Structures are given as structure tokens and as C-alpha cells.
Structure 1
Amino acid sequence: MTMVTTRTVEYPADGMTMIGHLALPAGTGRRPAVLIGPEGPGLNDFQRRRADALAELGYVALAFDLHGGRWISDPQEMLARVMPLLDDPDRMRGIGHAALDVLLAEPRTDPERIAAIGYGTGGAIALELGRDGVDLRAIGTVNGLVTGRPGEAARIRCPVWAGVGSEDPIMPPERRDSFAAEMQAAGVDWRLVVYGGAQHAFHHPTVGHAVLPGVAHHPQQAQRAWRDIVGLLAECVPVQE
């Protein structure tokens, strides 16, 4: 295992002080970089470990924050914050751009090779950065299949990979279909993987508190989704020594 260094980064976004987690690979040279957006409850240790895992593969990785350093365990409180956010593309883009600025400020980051991936709300933010015309090399979204404002997907300049559980009631087939239609109409290089038997947030380990209906961990499909994301990054932003 290569030596990864990590640090906490504070930065302003959405009217609050965000607390992100930056993971740097071994060495001193510039490397491709990845923004990692968390699920609706926010940034926790599981999300931070995703950044660490990508740094071990050679990427500069920033797991960004949604709620000013909080991880919201109460489902109703989480929805009260996240649902208005998901309805406001400009707010989502503001959160994404603030994190992107932190990533670009890191000297190890190669500014020509940046990808954005995310889960749920974080995946929706990754997509909105693409719709805002950010020069990304890849976008990956799991369970964040939001459809954007008409026509703006034409500004996406990179491949888009999306994953969703077949039994996800929060991202039902009609949501998948509208997302696919938007990507296709915009001429985007897109893929949609449906993971059989998986529900919403299938990629996140079980948590010790109440969750929304239709949320459940699926360890096998979680591993497959992670491999698919790593494959997307290897294809679009390979780590070159």
C-alpha cells in the first residue's frame, strides 16, 4: 500500500463553513484528481475512506461536504435540507464549484485531468458541474439520476457513467428513463448500469439509525459499483507516472 497523506480542509459554500477531506497519493508530482460527493446525510468516515482509496490508486481526492461539517442522521431533517437543494441547480453548482476550487488550489492536482463522482445528492452535484460546462474528464453518479434544466446537458464535455439499484423506489424506472433521454438528446457519451436487487444507497454500509424506506446495503453490488467507478477513472483519467 502506498503512503497516503490526508488533511481536513475548510472552505465556504452555501452560506456555511464546509469541512472536506483531502487525500494525497505518495510522491510529489501532479496527479489526476477526483471530487467525491457524499450521500444526502453528508460526509462521514465511509466517504473519507473513498477518498483515501482513490489516493492509494494515485489520485488526488477530495471528499466534499454538504452540511457544514455535519452528518445528518435523522431522515426527516436530512430531507428538509436536501430536497430544496436538489430543486436548486444553482445552489448545487455553488457547492460543487467551492469544492472544485479547493481541489484546484492543491499543487498536486493536475488541472487538466479532473473527474467528479458522487452518490445521491453528491452525484447530482457532480452532474450539475457538467451541465455548468466545467471541463471534467469523467462524471460518475450513483443513485443521483437527477434531470437538469432543459438543454444544459449539451454542455457536458466528458463521459457520464450512472449506476442505480433495480429496486430503488427513490430512483424509479421513469427517473432513469428521463435521465437517459436527457443524456441521449444532448449527445453525451453516457452509460447507465442497473444493479439487480439493489435498493437506494445500496453502496453505503448499514447505519445504526432509522433510514428511509427503500434504503438498504447490498454488499455484492456495492463492490461491483465501486469497481465500475474505478474502471471509469482508469479509462478517462488514467494515473500516469
Structure 2
Amino acid sequence: MTITTRTVAYPADALAMIGHLALPAGDERRPAVLIGPEGMGLSDVERRRADALAELGYVALAFDLHGGRYLDDPEEMLARCMPLLADPDRMRGIGRAALEVLRAEPRADLGRVAAIGYGTGGAVVLELGRAGVDLRAIGTVNALTTGRPGEAARIRCPVWAGVGSEDPIMPPAQREAFIAEMRDAGVDWRCVVYGGALHAFHHPPVDHATPPGVGYHARHAQRAWRDIVDLLAECLPVTE
């Protein structure tokens, strides 16, 4: 399927964000997917995922976290992301700004929108759910983050979460806290634990330093992607 792509500029978190929009062939409205990147920021990895979803028939927007920058210095990345992850309102602001860009696209079916994310981007899309945003599905990898008490009850769609069994950043205690939050809120949730995988197991190797506990796992990366595509097919089917 022939797709078209373009960059989109928009303000969020006092920064000039630059996202990547991918559109499927044709001119009819299609279900839409928001894609949040790892803490390092928007890269070709997320752009390719947006393109892959467009090839499946979705309007897809990979959003920005750092004002067009990719933070390949782990210390700089953590210095920006840790305060962000501690501030649900800032995360929601970043997510809502990107969502408005997606909703402004004429090809997007505003009644059929999902959000997926990785790491910090996954935490952002979870906060959109906790804010009560109308989404058809939420999918996260490496982002079993918990929110403010009681707010998970606002989540109005199925939630799928994937995590590596050996992820030191999302250890079993954090995993159990996330599951308890989803369960207590009555959310339709699933959590897949990928055996032997570290943090960011889905992300192909990079040519710069990474924090400890990060590592690529090719088989599980493919499996996690299939699981996300299956989630979208279930909750946001593309009809010709």
C-alpha cells in the first residue's frame, strides 16, 4: 500500500514539537493511532512504526517529547524525563497537544482513536486514559506506570501492557502495582511478560550509550509488535 508522510510542528510543554504523520492510501477517513516514543525521544524507530501502521490502513502520528531533539546522552535524557514522569499534568499536556494534531487531520476518524507508547511515551498515553480521554485502546511497552489514586477509573478502553521479565526499571513490584491499579479500577487490562527481556527490548540497538538494564531482544520485539497490531485489530479494526 502506498502511504504518504509529513512532519507536523505544534507547541507542547513550552517547546516546539515536531511529529511524524503517516497516512494510508486513499482519501477516506480511517481509524487513527497516536504513537509515543521512548525517553530518548522521537526517532526513526517510531517513524517506521507509524509508517507500518499507515500501511495497515491507520492514520498514525508519532509524537515528539523534546522539541525536535533526540537525547542520546542518558544523563540528559533522565534529567528531562524523570521530572516529566513525576508530573501527570505535564504528560497529559504533551499527549493532548499531539492528540489535537491527530484529530485535526481530515483523514482521521475522530470516533476511532487509539494510543500506544514506549517508555516515557507509554506513560504519556496512560495518562491520557487516566484523564478520561476517549480512546478505543491503549497499548504500552516498558511503561507500567501508576497514576494518582482513583484516576485509573476514568480509563474507558482496553489496556494492553508489555514488559520484559528482567526489566530493572519496571521490576516485579512496579508490575504488581500497575496490575493492582488496573484491577481495582475495573479496567479491561492485559499484561504480557516477555521472558528474559530487559528494558526497551523492543528497540533496535543504538550507537550511543544507554542506561544499565537496557537491551534489544529481537524475537520479543517482533512478538510485542504483533501483540500491539492484534490489539488495534480487535479494538480499532480497519474496514475497507
TM-score w.r.t. structure 1 length?
Answer: 0.99
Q: Which residue is 1:237 aligned to?
A: 236
Q: Which residue is 1:208 aligned to?
A: 207
Q: Which residue is 2:24 aligned to?
A: 25
List aligned pairs for 1:1-241, cutoff 5 A. Answer: 2-241=1-240
One-letter amino acid matched to 2:29: R
Offset from partner CA, 1:14-61 (integer Å, 9 cap, x none): 001000000000010000000000000000111100000000000000
Offset from partner CA, 1:165-201 (integer Å, 9 cap, x none): 0000000000000000000000000000000010000
Q: What is the CA–CA distance in structure 2 between the aligned matches of 1:139 and 1:47, rounded to whole Å? A: 16
Q: Secondary structure at the match of 1:21?
A: strand
Q: What is the CA–CA distance in structure 1 between the aligned matches of 2:105 and 2:177, rounded to whole Å? A: 37
One-letter amino acid matched to 2:66: H
One-letter amino acid matched to 1:96: G
Please list every run of 5 or more consecutive structure 1 residues that lacks an aligned counterpart in the other structure. none
Q: Secondary structure at the match of 2:69?
A: coil
Please list every run of 5 or more consecutive structure 2 residues that lacks an aligned counterpart in the other structure. none
Q: Secondary structure at the match of 1:12?
A: strand
TM-score w.r.t. structure 2 length?
Answer: 1.00
Shift of 1:100: 0.2
Q: What is the CA–CA distance in structure 2 between the aligned matches of 1:158 and 1:82, rounded to whole Å? A: 26
Q: What is the CA–CA distance in structure 2 between the aligned matches of 1:229 and 1:46, rounded to whole Å? A: 15
Q: Secondary structure at the match of 1:111?
A: strand
Q: What is the CA–CA distance in structure 2 between the aligned matches of 1:193 and 1:46, rounded to whole Å? A: 22
Shift of 1:154: 0.2
One-letter amino acid matched to 1:202: F
Q: What is the aligned residue count?
A: 240
Q: What is the CA–CA distance in structure 2 between the aligned matches of 1:210 and 1:15, rounded to whole Å? A: 27
One-letter amino acid matched to 2:95: G
Offset from partner CA, 1:73-101 (integer Å, 9 cap, x none): 00000000000000000000000000000
Q: What is the CA–CA distance in structure 1 between the aligned matches of 2:18 and 2:232, rounded to whole Å? A: 25
Q: What is the CA–CA distance in structure 1 between the aligned matches of 2:23 and 2:208, rounded to whole Å? A: 32
Cα RMSD for the two superposed structures? 0.3
One-letter amino acid matched to 1:152: E
